[in-house]
Structure 1
Amino acid sequence: MPQPTPGRTVLYRVTESDASDINRRRKDIHESRSADSRTGFVGHVGNHVTAGDTFPAVIVRVWNETTVTCNLRVLLDGTDVYWATSRAEGTEPGTWAWPVIS
């Protein structure tokens, strides 16, 4: 099994709380009308996210505690990313897994 190290790509499963945070940020940009003003401001824009959705993520930091956890830069389907901190390997929402190579 590979070791988690910075720069490796894994798959992250979004929690209900993650999805709520992401969708709120994306809603805010539209409600503020900033997306229409064409000022050059880059906001959070992308498709709706649901708990359980899986996205590629890059490991940015590894914490070697009792259980290895990682900080992840989650690559969302849109212009933004999500920073998921101290996440463990697993199969439930809020965890990351190695991609399956077929």
Structure 2
Amino acid sequence: MKPSIGRIVHYTLSEQDAEAINKRRSDFHKYLKSEGYGDIGYIAHYGNEARAGDVYPAMIVRVWDDDMVNLSVQLDGTDTYWATSRREGEGLHNHWVWPPRV
């Protein structure tokens, strides 16, 4: 199949992806506890810990070629992750695949 904008795929997190997601969530918790925090419209980065190898649904937001795309990854929490220039690849971290038919 050929990727196109708006299609849903499965994305597997790499170690670097998981570290970046968990850092944003940790930073949010630190800021939340600070005296300067107020209800000012921040998007909370809050959710279950992300780990390398975790698979999440992702929407294709830009197509570069037949197997390289940018993705908006729906995480297990209140936030998303922008995965840029990712290639299709079965069984690999940092890659996306078409979801299986069930």
Q: TM-score, normalised by structure 1?
A: 0.89
Q: Does the CA contact (< 8 Å) of 1:34 and 1:41 recur in 2? A: no
Q: Distance in 1 between matches of 2:46 and 2:84?
A: 22
Q: Distance in 1 between matches of 2:30 and 2:93?
A: 29
* Distance of aligned partners of 1:35 and 1:42 in 2 relative to their CA distance in 1, 3 Å threshold: farther
Q: Distance in 2 between matches of 1:82 and 1:54?
A: 12
Residue of structure 2 in register with 1:8 after alignment:
7
Q: Does the CA contact (< 8 Å) of 1:44 and 1:80 recur in 2? A: yes
Q: Report whether the alignment pairs 1:98 with 2:98.
A: yes
* Cα RMSD (Å): 1.8
Residue of structure 1 in register with 2:51 after alignment:
50
* Distance of aligned partners of 1:34 and 1:3 in 2 relative to their CA distance in 1, 3 Å threshold: farther
Q: Distance in 1 between matches of 2:34 and 2:16?
A: 25
Letter in 2 for 1:61: R
Aligned length: 99
| 1:8-63 superposed Cα distances (whole Å, 9 cap, x missing partner) | 00000000000000000000111122599551432211110000000000000110
Large movers: runs of 4+ above 4 Å: 34-38
